[in-house]
Amino acid sequence: MDETSHRRGPATLRGRARPSTTHDQRLLDERGSAEWLHKDPWRVLRIQAEFVEGFGLLAELGRAVSVFGSARIKPGSPYYELATEVGGRLAAAGYAVITGGGPGIMEAANKGADPHGLSVGLGIELPFEQGMNAFVDLGMQFRYFFVRKTMFVKYSQAFVVLPGGFGTLDELFEAITLVQTRKITRFPIVLMGVSFWQPLLDWITGTLQAEGLISPDDPALLHLTDDPDEAVRIVIEGHMNAGQADIEARVQAATAEEAGT
């Protein structure tokens, strides 16, 4: 590294970006202001603590499915009832049901799950006061969206997505991207509410696929249904395939290890 460069972990800082002091200088030599306490590097510890608490809380969850959907859909609406149904059937099939812990579809899925199995809420701190919905058995309130999103993906074997707005679309497209890029494998994504999602699927095939922006196989990453039983069947089949693939991978690894010794 030349003299005009500065290395900070994996980052290279040159020219204007080069700091005028070192970490040691800032640690040992700075006096007075406590401003640094509010700066980003310090926040990393809070972020880290949130990961540790989340991993600790959910480590023994067992199999689980995350259910996403609008915070604004009210009890009594058909989508609320659908979410209650699918939450109940997933729990009866032995899956913990994880939601964002809020109102609307989240509350509906927790409500359906509650009498049959474990009902989980991963809430998010918002500018307005909002508690966990009344049907959450195991809950945690997160400060950071990205930490919370890691928990949904890490501790679920599938996502079920009901109609929603930006928050729901964000959660859906993150999951599709993770599956498409094989960061998570054998992970069913079920869209419930055919008339709501069909226009999006038409755009995905008619525009994204037609313009070569996704692979021809990609639209098949999404399953579409209005039937809670079919949604649960897709989840269970995906899970069984994942189990089979894991067994095959372990057999292959063991065979390779034996051959090497």
Binding test (CB under 6 A) with ligand LYK5OOP5, winner from 54, 87, 88, 102: 102
Work out whether 143 is an interface residue with ligand LYK5OOP5 (CB under 6 A). no
Question: Residue 105 burial by CB count (10 A; 0-12/13-18/19+): exposed, middle or buried?
Answer: buried
**Residue from the set 72, 143, 183, 250 that interacts with ligand LYK5OOP5 by CB under 6 A:** 72
DSSP 118: -
Out of 110, 156, 157, 168, which residue is the one contacting ligand LYK5OOP5 (CB under 6 A)? 168
Q: Which of 47, 57, 61, 71 binds ligand LYK5OOP5 (CB under 6 A)?
A: 71
* 260 in contact with ligand LYK5OOP5 (CB under 6 A): no
Residue type, 178: L
- In the chain, what's the furthest Cα-to-Cα distance? 68
How many angstroms separate the first and last alpha carbons of the chain? 42
193 binds ligand LYK5OOP5 (CB under 6 A): no
Closer Cβ to ligand LYK5OOP5, 17 or 126, answer by number: 126
Interaction of residue 74 with ligand LYK5OOP5, rule CB under 6 A: no
Determine if 228 is a binding residue for ligand LYK5OOP5 (CB under 6 A). no
Nearer to ligand LYK5OOP5, 38 or 166 (CB): 166
CA distances from 102 to 71, 164, 194 (A): 6, 13, 24
Selected binder of ligand LYK5OOP5 within 103, 112, 117, 193 (CB under 6 A):
103
Query: Strands 96-99 and 119-124: what pairing?
Result: parallel
Amino acid at 247: I
Q: Does 153 bind ligand LYK5OOP5 (CB under 6 A)?
A: no
Residue given tokens 């474990």 in the structure block: 118
Q: How far apart are CA 97 and CA 90, in angstroms?
A: 7
Closest CB 71 distance from ligand LYK5OOP5, rounded Å: 4
CB of 100 to ligand LYK5OOP5, least distance (A): 3
Helix, strand, or coil here: 141? strand
Closer CB to ligand LYK5OOP5, 160 or 236, in the complex: 160
Q: Tell me how many residues contact ligand LYK5OOP5 (CB under 6 A).
A: 20
> DSSP state, 31?
-
Residue 183: HSE in the Cβ half-sphere, 13 Å Cα cutoff: 9
| Region of 9 on the Ramachandran plot (φ > 0 left; ψ -120 to 50 alpha; else beta) | left
**Residue 50 sits in the site that holds ligand LYK5OOP5 (CB under 6 A):** no
Q: Does 85 bind ligand LYK5OOP5 (CB under 6 A)?
A: no
Q: Which residue stretches of 59-193 are H helix? A: 78-92, 105-113, 145-154, 166-180
The residue among 103, 75, 78, 98 whose CA lies nearest residue 87 is 98
Q: Binding to ligand LYK5OOP5 by residue 159, rule CB under 6 A?
A: no
Residues lying near ligand LYK5OOP5 in the complex (CB under 6 A) are found at 68-72, 100-103, 106, 123-124, 126, 130, 164-168, 171
